[in-house]
A = this chain, B = another copy of it.
Amino acid sequence: MEEIFPGHPRAESLRIRKRIAEAMEMGIVVPEGLTAHGRGEAFDYLIGEKTTEVAKRAIEASAAALLMASHPVISVNGNAAALVPSELVELSKICGAKLEVNLFHRSFRRELLIAEHLKKHGGGEILGVGEENAVRLPEIQSERRKADRRGIYKADVILVPLEDGDRTEALKRMGKFVIAIDLNPLSRTARAADITIVDNIVRAVPLMVEILKEMKSKPTDVLRKMVKSFDNEANLAESLKFMSRRLLELAGETPNYLSGGTKG
Interface residues, chain A, CB within 8 Å of chain B? 2, 5, 9, 17, 20-21, 24, 31-32, 34-43, 45, 105, 141-142, 165, 184, 186, 188, 236-237, 240-241, 243-245, 247-248, 250-253, 257
Contacts A5-B141, A38-B40, A188-B9 given; indicate if A244 touches B237 (C-beta within 8 A): no
17 A-B residue pairings within 8 Å (CB atoms):
A2-B105, A5-B141, A9-B188, A17-B35, A21-B31, A21-B35, A31-B34, A35-B37, A38-B39, A39-B39, A39-B41, A41-B42, A186-B250, A237-B253, A240-B247, A241-B247, A241-B253
Please give the count of copies of this chain that the complex contains.
Answer: 2
Task: Select which of B40, B45, B105 is within 8 A of A186 by beta carbon.
Answer: B45
Shortest distance between the CB of A167 and any CB in chain B (Å): 13
B240 touches A248 (CB 8 A): yes
Specify which chain B residues have a CB less than 8 angstroms from the CB of A244 in the assembled complex.
Answer: 244-245, 247-248, 251
Specify which chain B residues have a CB less than 8 angstroms from the CB of A237 in the assembled complex.
Answer: 251-253
Specify which chain B residues have a CB less than 8 angstroms from the CB of A24 in the assembled complex.
Answer: 31
Specify which chain B residues have a CB less than 8 angstroms from the CB of A43 in the assembled complex.
Answer: 42
Shortest distance between the CB of A144 and any CB in chain B (Å): 10
Shortest distance between the CB of A76 and any CB in chain B (Å): 20
What are the nearest 5 A-B pairs in CB distance?
A: A38-B38, A42-B42, A240-B251, A34-B34, A244-B247
Specify which chain B residues have a CB less than 8 angstroms from the CB of A35 in the assembled complex.
Answer: 17, 20-21, 34-35, 37-38, 41
Contacts A35-B34, A39-B42 given; indicate if A250 touches B245 (C-beta within 8 A): no
A50 to B186, CA, bound (A): 17
Specify which chain B residues have a CB less than 8 angstroms from the CB of A34 in the assembled complex.
Answer: 31, 34-35, 38
Specify which chain B residues have a CB less than 8 angstroms from the CB of A38 in the assembled complex.
Answer: 34-42
